[in-house]
């Protein structure tokens, strides 16, 4: 699961957010995530009307569907992170946004940051390339800005190219940013690097890129395969290259190699 940083600390708007559901598991998870995110919230009795002061209330899709209240936000367990993130976006930048700039620090778990109309709006540690682009698209669908750009650090060529290709396939404007001056601090702090990438003008990318993993990237994937298998095995370079270009996940590659050893 991606982790959302303390965006609510940057609030420029005070919104009333409520949880209003009969689903105990959903309510418990929502209340915990809202608390962790620093968003002011309350819990409402689903059998009573929603007070006029409440800006958003969250419930199951079925519960929201039974009302005509545009303030209701449908949610299930798997959607909690994205729903909370969407609310945090509105708390920070409001409803009307003209331009959103995204910064992505590439890696196996990319860092993602975004600025809305010149204001920092959020930062997250993502779990995969596809999840990163999915979240970018979700934010754009939330706000429908007239202009947007995705800026990708060039420090990890294979993953950078993969992210760029997925973004281009989704119709997004893409730039490559020189990471030379963005990687200060811990080499593993992808979120901080993403913030710096986000604010730096890059070179436009308009055509699909060829993804060719370097030998160093292949060896790094093989090293990670040893880690996740508890030192029991190292996947061969062919499988590591398949992981590098996005044809398989690392877990899938390890499972394939285990099956091949069993036979």
pLDDT per position as a tens digit, 177-232: 998 755 554 445 788 999 999 999 999 999 998 888 888 888 988 998 999 888 88
pLDDT of 69 > 80? The answer is yes
Look over the chain and give the mean of its residue pLDDT values, rounded to a whole number: 85
* Under 8 Å between Cβ of 241 and 214: no
Contacts of 170 (CB under 8 A, 6+ apart): 133, 137
Band of pLDDT at residue 1, cut at 50, 70 and 90? very low
pLDDT for the residue numbered 250: 87
Bigger pLDDT: 160 or 124? 160
**pLDDT value of residue 214:** 84
Look at residue 14 in the predicted model and tell me its pLDDT. Answer: 59
Higher local confidence (pLDDT), 92 or 111: 111
Rounded to two decimals, what is the model's pTM? 0.68
What is residue 94's predicted lDDT score, i.e. its pLDDT?
A: 67
pLDDT reading at 9 higher than 50: no
Question: Are 152 and 160 contacting, i.e. CB atoms less than 8 angstroms apart?
Answer: yes
């Amino acid at each position: 699961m991606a982790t959302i940083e303390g965006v609510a600390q940057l609030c420029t708007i005070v919104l009333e957010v409520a949880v209003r559901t009969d689903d105990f598991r959903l309510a418990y998870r929502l209340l915990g995530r809202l608390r962790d995110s620093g968003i002011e919230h309350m819990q409402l009795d689903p059998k009573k009307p929603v007070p006029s002061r409440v800006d958003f209330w969250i419930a199951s899709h079925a519960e929201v569907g039974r009302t005509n209240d545009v303030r209701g936000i449908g949610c299930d367990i798997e959607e909690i992170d994205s729903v909370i993130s969407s609310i945090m976006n509105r708390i920070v930048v409001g409803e009307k946004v003209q331009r959103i700039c995204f910064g992505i620090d590439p890696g196996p778990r990319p860092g993602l940051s975004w600025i809305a109309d010149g204001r920092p709006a959020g930062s997250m540690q993502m779990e995969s390339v596809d999840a990163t682009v999915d979240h970018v698209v979700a934010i754009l669908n939330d706000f429908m800005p007239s202009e947007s750009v995705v800026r990708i650090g060039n420090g990890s060529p294979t993953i950078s190219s993969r992210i760029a290709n997925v973004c281009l396939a989704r119709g997004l404007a893409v730039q490559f940013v020189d990471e030379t001056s963005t990687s200060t601090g811990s080499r593993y702090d992808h979120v901080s690097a993403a913030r710096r990438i986000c604010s730096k003008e890059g070179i436009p990318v308009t055509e699909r890129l060829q993804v060719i993993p370097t030998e160093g990237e292949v060896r790094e994937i093989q090293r990670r395969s040893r880690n996740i298998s508890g030192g029991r095995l190292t996947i061969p370079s062919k499988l590591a290259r398949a992981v590098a270009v996005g044809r398989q996940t690392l877990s899938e590659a390890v499972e394939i190699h285990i099956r091949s050893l069993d036979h």
